Structure 1
């Protein structure tokens, strides 16, 4: 079973609330059409990432080099300075749904002192004959979080919160925001009743990453000290979402998300 990707990561996902709708999106720009001016192709001296803004990104999902599904990652601006990030994975090959590739996850959040602060989180896992759902609430007035639904018994107790704590989906957004060559990144993962310290190392040099026939100059970001699990993200200046996200366990690919296109909105 795939866990949330602080990649998503640890894979983070959620049902969009029916009453909350995304702003009208601009026309999607395939990566190939934007190649001539894409900031991802700028040299190392490119500026830092732009402030958070809404976007929709489409990915293809691979496992062991074979395409097994599609994914959509989006950030939506809501009222009262609130935001929502959603990730949905959909399996497209035979019995893929039996191995955990039909998942939806969301985190409702705000931005406090420049930090992405989770307010609630939900995960829905679809299976062939059943499904599982859990929801979590981050109460910053009491600095505690609690999860309900299909949650293991040892994860149902309230979790004490610290300033800066984030869900897996928010950690992905923070990596895009914070990555610079050679930098070490540290975040505290609080999601699904679990608490973990996540540490990432950004490669000192840019490397070429080819996705959907487009070459990006990207920063490779590796999670360190993660045991048998390996998480790698590639991020590029000016692109609001990771170019590629790979999660491996015991040396074998679990998920490999490759960006196809993304759309910004106001």
Structure 2
């Protein structure tokens, strides 16, 4: 009969505990982040970004912007971006994405990714566009989150496959250095990251060890918007 070795059992139990803890630690942590939104220096509104678990390794990432002052409030300008992604190889991978922008007119976009056939379908109401998916593909909504996770892992140069209207773009980002940033959430020494493969202006300031999202974003896409972190919380 096999004799049980107490010391070996304890070591095995500790190893199992470490593995189990690591598995849970690899999962993203749900959060809520609020931002102050301005356009060309004028206050425009507020953004709320949330991440919540749907179970079975799937998550919902939502970005809601509400116009609360100036012309944005007068026009009732609001936008909603919602992504459902799966957690794959310690990174998000888009399954569905929907976008709705409302002001004088409403613009919508939906994206579906079939990972069995590795095909992407995009619909903006004028017919469906199909193209091949890429492993690790995210969308324009979850791009800044995926970038933050890559920076937290210690990367200084990051390439992200981002699904857009007609194709997957291999978007490239580089850490330009460390800068002092003063936002409503506080003062930080942040890593400034710029997109290097496009003439569309995109700069984001990250504190990777503290937040997976930037504390500040300045971008030309969407109308010269600047977002500054106001509050970040986890359950």
Q: 1:171 to 1:190 in 2, by over 3 A?
A: same
Partner of 1:202: 175
**2:141 match: secondary structure:** helix
Residue among 133, 146, 153 paired with 2:108: 133
Q: 1:54 to 1:161 in 2, by over 3 A?
A: same
Alpha-carbon deviation of 1:225? Answer: 2.6
**1:185 match: secondary structure:** strand
> How many Å separate the matches in 1 of 2:116 and 2:75?
38
TM-score after normalising by structure 1: 0.71
Asked if 2 retains the 8 angstrom alpha-carbon contact of 1:126 and 1:132, the reply is yes
Alpha-carbon deviation of 1:90? Answer: 1.1
> Are residues 1:232 and 2:232 paired?
no
> How many Å separate the matches in 2 of 1:126 and 1:112?
33
From the two aligned structures, give the one with the greater strand fraction: 2
> How many Å separate the matches in 2 of 1:195 and 1:95?
34
In structure 1, the gaps of 5 or more residues are 1-48
Alpha-carbon deviation of 1:50? Answer: 8.1
Q: 1:149 to 1:97 in 2, by over 3 A?
A: farther
> How many Å separate the matches in 2 of 1:117 and 1:98?
37
The alignment covers a number of residue pairs equal to: 209
Alpha-carbon deviation of 1:51? Answer: 5.4
Alpha-carbon deviation of 1:193? Answer: 3.9
From the two aligned structures, give the one with the greater helix fraction: 2
Alpha-carbon deviation of 1:188? Answer: 1.3
> Are residues 1:170 and 2:146 paired?
no
Alpha-carbon deviation of 1:185? Answer: 0.5
> How many Å separate the matches in 2 of 1:210 and 1:111?
32
Q: 1:126 to 1:238 in 2, by over 3 A?
A: same
Partner of 1:108: 84
Partner of 2:224: 254
Asked if 1 retains the 8 angstrom alpha-carbon contact of 2:123 and 2:129, the reply is no
Alpha-carbon deviation of 1:93? Answer: 2.6
* Higher alpha-carbon Rg: 2
TM-score after normalising by structure 2: 0.80
Residue among 22, 25, 31 paired with 1:55: 31
> How many Å separate the matches in 1 of 2:99 and 2:185?
33
The one-character-per-residue Cα deviations of 1:190-215 (angstroms, maximum 9, x if unpaired) are: 03444322000012x42211002721
Partner of 2:118: 143
Asked if 2 retains the 8 angstrom alpha-carbon contact of 1:97 and 1:126, the reply is no
> How many Å separate the matches in 2 of 1:217 and 1:209?
6
